[in-house]
Amino acid sequence: MRARLAAAAVLLIVSGCGASDAPDGGDGRLSDGTSGPALSGTLTVFAAASLTDVFTDLGDQLMELHPSLAVRFNFAGSSALATQITQGAPADVFASANAAQMAVVTDAGMAQNPTVFAGNVLEIAVPAGNPGGVDGLADFARDELALAICAPDVPCGAAAEQVFDSAGVAAAPDTLEEDARAALTKVELGEVDAALVYASDVVSAGDAVEGIPFPEAENAVNAYPVCALADAPNPGAARAFVDLVLSGVGQAALGDAGFRAP
Amino acid sequence: MRGARSRTRVPAPLLVPAALAVAFLVLPLVGLLVRAPWSSLGPALTTPGVGQALRLSLVSATLATLVSVLLGVPLAWVLARSAARGRTLLRALVTVPLVLPPVVGGVALFLVLGRQGVVGRWLFEAFDLTIPFTTTAVVIAETFVAMPFLVISVEGALRAADARFEDVAATLGADRWTTFRRVTLPLVAPGVGAGAVLCWARALGEFGATITFAGNFPGTTQTMPLAVYLALQRDPEAAIALSLVLLAVSLATLLLLRGRWLGRAAP
Amino acid sequence: MTLDASVRLRRGALDLAIDLRVAGGEVVAVLGPNGAGKSTLLRVLAGLLPPDDGRVAVGGRIWDDVTGRTHLLPHRRSVGMVFQDALLFPHLTVSDNVAFGLRTRGVPKAAARVAAAGWLARVGLAGLGDQRPAQLSGGQAQRAALARALVGDPALLLLDEPLSALDARTRLTVRAELRRHLAEFGGGTVLVTHDPVDAMALADRVVVVEQGRVVQAGTPAEVNSRPRTDYVARLAGLSLLSGTGWGRSVRLDGGGVVAVAEEAAGPVFAAVRPESVALYLSRPDGSPRNVWSARLVGATPHGATVRCELAGEVPLVADVTATAFAELGLAPGVEVWATVKASEVAVYAR
């Protein structure tokens, strides 16, 4: 019985990648000082969902430089990613949206010396045209508005609590969203008058959403750490990706996406 | 080989897959039980939000089941008995919520019943009524996702029921409505019961459509699955504890129902 | 309460065209093989199936009139119907089953219960009213179904193979009871059956239906003694021979001549009962004028007799005693001589 179960379980496990050192075939040149031997195999990057657009672009750039390298991404909530990594999911790089979830991985001894590569601050997101007439954090106390903030259990919610506390605003949200993306969706659909999300989320939503920065946001700057994992199947590629993120190219891309420098 | 015994013995080609199925379904539950933080279970469960979420889950799932029965049984009758054209298409449409990712279902509900939705906008402008982010929205989201389970099982029961009983009732002076109430419905009651249980269970576990359309606010829209999901972001052990509560309550309810209500129908 | 029906209906392979008249208090058996359209006819009379064309009227009231665009829904017709399976509602008690028709017609609960109890007593089920249908035997269930159909005093009673699901012994007793209840019933009764015994025992008149058409009608005795189709003849246990009358003989269509006792002319049937056919191993001498050579092709024990099927110039069925069958050493394939007295042959116009 047990043997049969094990056999069935094998089918469910997505096989990891086998990294191999291919002979140096390309020119190995990388802009902005990030250069090295040609990379090959598969690079698996676990990254916070808010990084989806930027990291996909950066991954494409890396693949252009190393044609025999395939970059795969697993974008999800940072805590889900941390759980997957500590449960043994084969990953080369972990980029978290906060220090706490990175700590879960480093405490488990699966990564060392994470580097903060970006910061993200909260911004008020309102539907195009701002139907609720929202202009500052104080509007989150208005009962008649439909308001979304993140649940305190997730990083953007913890940050929201922090800014409301420091601003002395008694927020009256209608919903505590499971992540910033879900809150943003409700803004995009026009179902809430305002949501508290990250500046990068507002940029990613395009014209449907307007962002309103507010000074209290500085009290809760969210730091994004990244690191190559200790058991990375493709350590060379992992190093190269982390370097790219930290490079001028990477930082410029992050800036365009609404992130700020660390 | 004694006859009496060989009748109850399960043939090996059935036994092995059946045992595998049991293992497949039960082992994750065992995993939860093994990993459960038994020592911290007490504190986790007495957190004020938990009772609230549990109560909301039970109430909304029960309301969703009631709505599903009231609307779904007549729909099942139309699918099983009427000769209306386009029935095949109708049946396919009814099963859409089964294949639709629940989150998409939640967005779809917004597009109809949201403040900017086709119907919702009118409700808002005419009556100042908004549905999203209310307990009503929870019930609507759960009904949307769970009703097909009821419709499909009741339709199956109606098809299996002997339609000649309805002929007999007609010759005894019963019009179609009386026949439905006094003959058809009692005949398919076990099917309605099974469908309602399935529907209730699905509604109880509903997550995606609910968190999208109703949002998540303790006391009004935060059901147990939402509480479990959010606890998982912060404290996986608390999430396991909450899951166990949900499991225990739903299993207890189902066993009770089966014993008292479905048990009587099945000989 | 006279039923006056003229029903035309096409459904799949069935092409039904039947005219039927049943007087108040009369029992008419519709006899026919499976697929003849008997049950379909009953469904039309009950209103469960609208006819393509025709008219159904009961006691002067029009139930169906296709040209007049009248179709009375089944629950508005004063009918009682009993099916082959009793079809008692399994979720109701026996008493509630019987009271069902009264309740739907607005009779108060208490009164309906009293009436149901009365009818249960009449059909011999007194005291079983609180039972569930599943607790009844087949015969009891069919009695309850009859009570349920009759309790509302319908203008028309429709019985669809009411005895065929019962075992042989129960069928005898229920048939006898049914006969008594039908005698007391004032409305018309249409009994659909494929069992000639039911038809003979219960009906005042028999209508034989084959392939959607009435092929013969008359009293049970007439139909039994003078069958007009092979189907009826087989049911009556007769050999049916068709031919042309020529003085005191009939020239059969299939060849051969049958001597008869009376003068006959034109197209006629000659019917021979199996017990009037005698078998011999060698050609008998003496009086019988009908002697044919034949070969035994089938033999079926039938109580103390053996029914022998004969092939030859004149196809016949003969009943011989089991003893004679053994003494003659009969077996399929044996060549025999068959004789029939001219006075034993019934002749009637086709």
Q: Is residue B4 part of a domain?
A: no
Residues C183-228: tens digit of each pLDDT: 999 999 999 998 888 888 899 999 999 999 999 999 998 888 888 8
pLDDT, position B48: 75
C184 vs C1, more confident: C184
> Average pLDDT in the A226-238 region?
93
User: Least CB-CB distance to B114: which of A153, A178, A189?
Assistant: A189
Q: Is residue B260 part of a domain?
A: yes
Domain CATH for B158? 1.10.3720.10
Of B202, B189, B190, B193, the C-alpha closest to B250 is: B202
- Asked if pLDDT for residue A188 goes beyond 80, the answer is yes
pLDDT, position B260: 62
- pLDDT band, very low/low/confident/very high, at A123 (cuts 50, 70, 90): very high
Mean pLDDT of chain C: 91
Residues A69-118: tens digit of each pLDDT: 999 999 988 888 998 999 889 999 999 988 888 999 999 999 888 999 99
Residues A20-48: tens digit of each pLDDT: 333 333 333 344 444 567 888 999 999 99
Q: Is residue A7 part of a domain?
A: no
User: Do A136 and A204 lie in a common domain?
Assistant: yes
User: Do A104 and A83 lie in a common domain?
Assistant: yes
* Binary contact (B171, C100; C-beta < 8 A): no
pLDDT, position A36: 60
Best B129, B210, B216, B232 residue to mutate vs chain A (most A CBs within 10 Å)? B216
pLDDT, position B2: 44
* Binary contact (B24, A1; C-beta < 8 A): no
**Lowest-confidence region among A16-20, A42-46, A157-161, B218-222:** A16-20
**Lowest-confidence region among A242-246, B141-145, C271-275:** C271-275
Q: Is residue B206 part of a domain?
A: yes
B50 vs C61, more confident: C61
Residues B206-217: tens digit of each pLDDT: 999 999 999 999
pLDDT, position A3: 43
Of A78, A81, A80, A84, the C-alpha closest to A99 is: A78
User: Do A206 and A126 lie in a common domain?
Assistant: yes
Best A104, A191, A192 residue to mutate vs chain B (most B CBs within 10 Å)? A191
Task: For residue A51, give every residue at least 6 positions away whose Cβ sits within 8 Å of its Cβ, in sequence order, or none.
Answer: A75, A95, A97, A224
Q: How many structural domains is chain A composed of?
A: 2
Residues C300-319: tens digit of each pLDDT: 887 888 989 888 888 888 99
The complex's ipTM works out to 0.81
Q: Is residue B131 part of a domain?
A: yes
- pLDDT band, very low/low/confident/very high, at C146 (cuts 50, 70, 90): very high
Distance between A153 CA and the closest CA of chain B, angstroms: 5
User: Do A140 and A206 lie in a common domain?
Assistant: yes
Element (H, E) at A176: strand A175-177
Q: Is residue A17 part of a domain?
A: no
Q: Is residue A20 part of a domain?
A: no
Residues B128-150: tens digit of each pLDDT: 888 999 999 999 999 999 999 99
pLDDT, position C249: 87
* Binary contact (B23, A5; C-beta < 8 A): yes
pLDDT, position C312: 86
> Average pLDDT in the B102-114 region?
92
- pLDDT band, very low/low/confident/very high, at C247 (cuts 50, 70, 90): confident
- Asked if pLDDT for residue B46 goes beyond 80, the answer is no
pLDDT, position B19: 93
Q: Which two tokens stand for residue B199?
A: 């529907």
Distance between A100 CA and the closest CA of chain B, angstroms: 10
pLDDT, position C9: 95
Name every chain B residue with its beta carbon within 8 A of the beta carbon of C47: 170-171
pLDDT, position A160: 92
Q: Which two tokens stand for residue A262?
A: 């660390």
pLDDT, position A22: 37
Q: Is residue B246 part of a domain?
A: yes
Q: Is residue A177 part of a domain?
A: yes
Q: How many structural domains is chain B composed of?
A: 1
Residues A44-79: tens digit of each pLDDT: 999 998 898 899 999 999 999 999 999 999 998 888
Q: Is residue B32 part of a domain?
A: no
User: Do A154 and A214 lie in a common domain?
Assistant: yes
pLDDT, position A31: 40
- Asked if pLDDT for residue B55 goes beyond 70, the answer is yes
Best C89, C96, C97, C105 residue to mutate vs chain B (most B CBs within 10 Å)? C89
CA distance A94 to A74: 10
Task: For residue B70, give every residue at least 6 positions away whose Cβ sits within 8 Å of its Cβ, in sequence order, or none.
Answer: none
Q: What percent of chain B has pLDDT over 70?
A: 93
Q: Do the chains A and C touch each other, judged by at least 3 C-beta pairs below 8 angstroms? A: no
Query: Containing domain of residue A101, as a range?
Result: 40-119+223-256
CA distance A92 to A83: 15
> Average pLDDT in the C107-129 region?
94
Mean pLDDT of chain B: 87
Domains of chain C plus CATH, in order, are 3-226 (3.40.50.300), 237-349 (2.40.50.100)
CB pairs under 8 A between B and C: 68
Name every chain B residue with its beta carbon within 8 A of the beta carbon of C92: 186
Query: Containing domain of residue B160, as a range?
Result: 47-265
Q: What percent of chain C has pLDDT over 90?
A: 54
User: Do A211 and A126 lie in a common domain?
Assistant: yes
Q: Is residue B6 part of a domain?
A: no
Residues B63-75: tens digit of each pLDDT: 999 999 999 999 9
Tokens 């309906």, located at residue: C112
Of A75, A77, A94, the C-alpha closest to A85 is: A94
**Lowest-confidence region among A13-17, B177-181, B222-226, C102-106:** A13-17
Interface of B with C in 145-164 (CB under 8 A): 162, 164
pLDDT, position A23: 37
Q: Is residue B224 part of a domain?
A: yes
Q: Is residue A4 part of a domain?
A: no
Count CB-CB contacts under 10 A for residue C12. 5
Name every chain C residue with its beta carbon within 8 A of the beta carbon of B266: none
User: Do A200 and A129 lie in a common domain?
Assistant: yes
Residues B79-89: tens digit of each pLDDT: 998 877 888 89
- pLDDT band, very low/low/confident/very high, at A17 (cuts 50, 70, 90): very low
Task: For residue B165, give every residue at least 6 positions away whose Cβ sits within 8 Å of its Cβ, in sequence order, or none.
Answer: B183, B184, B187, C87, C89
Count CB-CB contacts under 10 A for residue C106. 8
Q: Is the whole-model pTM more than 0.80?
A: no
User: Do A84 and A48 lie in a common domain?
Assistant: yes
- Asked if pLDDT for residue B104 goes beyond 80, the answer is yes
Q: Is residue A261 part of a domain?
A: no
Task: For residue C138, give every residue at least 6 positions away whose Cβ sits within 8 Å of its Cβ, in sequence order, or none.
Answer: C86, C165, C166, C167, C170
Domain CATH for A80? 3.40.190.10
- pLDDT band, very low/low/confident/very high, at A5 (cuts 50, 70, 90): very low
pLDDT, position C349: 85
Q: What percent of chain C has pLDDT over 70?
A: 99
Mean pLDDT of chain A: 84
> Average pLDDT in the B197-222 region?
92
Q: Is residue A189 part of a domain?
A: yes
Tokens 């469910």, located at residue: A12
- pLDDT band, very low/low/confident/very high, at A18 (cuts 50, 70, 90): very low
User: Do A211 and A129 lie in a common domain?
Assistant: yes
Name every chain A residue with its beta carbon within 8 A of the beta carbon of B232: 79-80
User: Do A233 and A115 lie in a common domain?
Assistant: yes
pLDDT, position B262: 54
**Lowest-confidence region among A176-185, B232-241, C9-18, C170-179:** B232-241
